Amino acid sequence: MILRLLSAALAAGFLAAIVATGLELSLTSPLIVAAERYETPAPGQAAQGTTRALPIVLAHSGHDHAAPDAAPDWQPAPGFQRMAFTGLATLVGGVGWALILGAVLIALGREPTLQTGLAFALAGFASVSLAPALGLPPELPGQEAAPILARQAWWVMTAAGTAMGLYLIGVRRSLIAILGGLVLIVAPHVVGAPPPPDTTSAVPAALAAQFAARSLAVSAVFWTMIGLGFGWAWQSFGSAGRRHA
């Protein structure tokens, strides 16, 4: 069972990483490069650090602003190095999320198939990407943002609340469970995401909106490929095991 789970997660993560990395490099990476010029310091000013080396499917609010006297964070060099690190990070994230997806399916007694894999993967997308993006949209370098610890705390609360809410609504399905699930889903948005500083961002609003939309689209494809890939791989490895038994 464990070997089958690991094998299916590796296959699903690899498939999702190939597709998502291609989309990232063609759809979102050019926007990141375009936005980086807005955080380039003027002569005589210290550079601001950014941690946007990871792909957007893993950390949609991942950049932070360094103190003026802080050394800039390391970043992969443009070109092949950036492409390689983007693909590697996407692969690691894909395998990790596929493992979680498979573990949840097995824990709930659901047979991993194309249908169940896709359904639970879409729930994962809603929990990890879509719901948090309602308060913390995917950000470009140069955009002003709230302190990273506050953003991370709200993200965890939103992702966990949405996941638990969808579980109560989709699995438990009793009236009290549905009501409790709705409360869990809505509560983080009632509390509200930490607001950014009251300053004007140098990044054009149109560029930021385009990046947010493309990021969510890539994330949706990423999760879809994980769900379909895991369901297909689980069934394929199970059939192969029975043939060799």
Domain ranges, ordered by start, for the chain: 2-35+77-145+196-244
**In angstroms, rounded to a whole number, what is the distance separating the alpha carbons of residues 234 and 120?**
14
Cβ atoms of residues 37 and 116 within 8 Å: no
pLDDT in tens, 22-33: 999 999 999 998
**In angstroms, rounded to a whole number, what is the distance separating the alpha carbons of residues 158 and 129?**
10
- Mean pLDDT, the chain, rounded, equals 86
pLDDT in tens, 15-24: 999 999 999 9
Nearest C-alpha neighbor of 119 from the set 58, 176, 171: 171
pLDDT in tens, 201-244: 788 989 999 999 999 999 999 999 999 999 999 999 876 656 65
Three-point CA angle 181, 186, 191, nearest 5°: 135
What predicted TM-score, i.e. pTM, was given to this entire model? Answer: 0.85
